[in-house]
Amino acid sequence: MLRYVAPLGLFLLLILVLVKGLDPERDLNALPSPFLGKPAPQFELPSLNDPTKTTGSADYAGDLAVVNVWATWCVGCRQEHGFLMQLGANGDVPLYGLNWRDNLPEAQRFLQQLGNPYVDSAFDQDGRVGIDWGVYGAPETFLIGADGTVLYKHLGPLNWALWEQKFVPLIEEARSPQ
């Protein structure tokens, strides 16, 4: 009996593995962030609003915050910019930017022309803070808890549907009384 059942079982297992590989939702480039559930790295960088001042993780300490990694050379960032404008205006969760490997005048012009959804953006010219945050491609969006832990990291352009699906449940959970 076993000599018939065992190959059939193995075959079914193989089918399961292969079907999982065909899942259209599966993003081959997505890597799990090692930061989930861990404290987000601290940083302090020149502010894009006023480069003579600094901005950084201290600005949103104690608050739930969204940190969006963006750059003017990044196509996905332009795609999600409209959504970010709405999210920033909505004001439910403060939105901070990390301007990654960019050029200061160009970054400022980008925000002037298309609108500035961010409370402030940190200017990470040489990508040093980006490395600390494990950034490997803009846009990336982090949800940071009030205690400074990384609750979620999203890769690629955001929109309302993704926001509702991925971020809103975590925000509600973070805000519900323990």
Partner 1 sequence: MKILPGILTLLLLSSASLAIDTEEAFEDPEMQARYEKILDEVRCLKCQNQTIKDSNAFLAGDLRREIRRMISDGMTDEQIFDFLVDRYGEFALYRPRASGKTLILWLAPALLLIGGAFVLLQIVRRRMALPIDDDPAAEG
| Nearer to partner 1 among residue 30 and residue 58 (C-beta) | 30
Strand extents, DSSP E, 26-158? 44-46, 54-56, 65-70, 95-100, 121-124, 140-144, 150-155
CB of residue 50 vs partner 1: minimum separation in angstroms?
A: 26
Residue length of the chain: 178
| Nearer to partner 1 among residue 8 and residue 161 (C-beta) | 8
Q: Kindly list the residues in this chain that would bind partner 1 in the complex (CB under 8 A).
A: 29, 31-34, 101, 126-128, 130-134, 136-137
CB of residue 30 vs partner 1: minimum separation in angstroms?
A: 11
| Nearer to partner 1 among residue 14 and residue 168 (C-beta) | 14
CB of residue 10 vs partner 1: minimum separation in angstroms?
A: 11
CB of residue 140 vs partner 1: minimum separation in angstroms?
A: 11
Rounded CA gap, 117 and 30, in Å?
26
| Nearer to partner 1 among residue 138 and residue 171 (C-beta) | 138
- What number of CA atoms fall less than 13 Å from residue 103's CA on the CB side? 7
Buried b (16+ CB within 10 A) or exposed e, 121-137: bbbbeeeebbeebebee
